[in-house]
Amino acid sequence: MFLKIIAFLIIFYYIFKIIGRFLFPFLLKKGVENMQKKQEKDFERFREEAMKREGEVRVETKPNTKKSTKLEDTEGEYVDFEEIE
């Protein structure tokens, strides 16, 4: 039983080592290519924004994600005041 486990681990190690030798460089290359494409896209967008024509007006708004600014009846603003005689 013990020898079977040791044999299985050795076989698994060599199979993983052989597959990893071919698979790891492929995955690394794909990851680098994806990062390079993203950088190129970001640079193009930056360059387009920098090359806007003079006089061109563009308004960009973010979606309103804030909560309602209304105060509940139990809440209120504290106003510091001084008494005048």
Q: Specify whether the CB–CB gap between 71 and 77 falls below 8 A.
A: yes
pLDDT given for residue 41 in this prediction: 93
* Domain extent at residue 30: 25-53
**Closest listed residue to residue 58, CA positions, set 68, 50, 70:** 50
- For the beta carbon of residue 78, count every other beta carbon within 10 angstroms: 4
Distance of CA 43 to the CA centre of its chain: 17
Is the pTM value of this prediction over 0.95?
no
- Reported residue count of the chain is 85
Q: Could you tell me if residue 70 is inside a domain?
A: no
pLDDT given for residue 2 in this prediction: 87
Q: Could you tell me if residue 45 is inside a domain?
A: yes
Q: Could you tell me if residue 29 is inside a domain?
A: yes
Span 33-43, pLDDT tens digits: 999 999 999 99
> Can you point out the beta strands (E) in the chain?
none
More confident residue, 70 or 6: 6
Q: Could you tell me if residue 62 is inside a domain?
A: no
The number of distinct structural domains making up the chain is 1
Span 22-60, pLDDT tens digits: 899 999 999 999 999 999 999 988 888 777 766 677 777
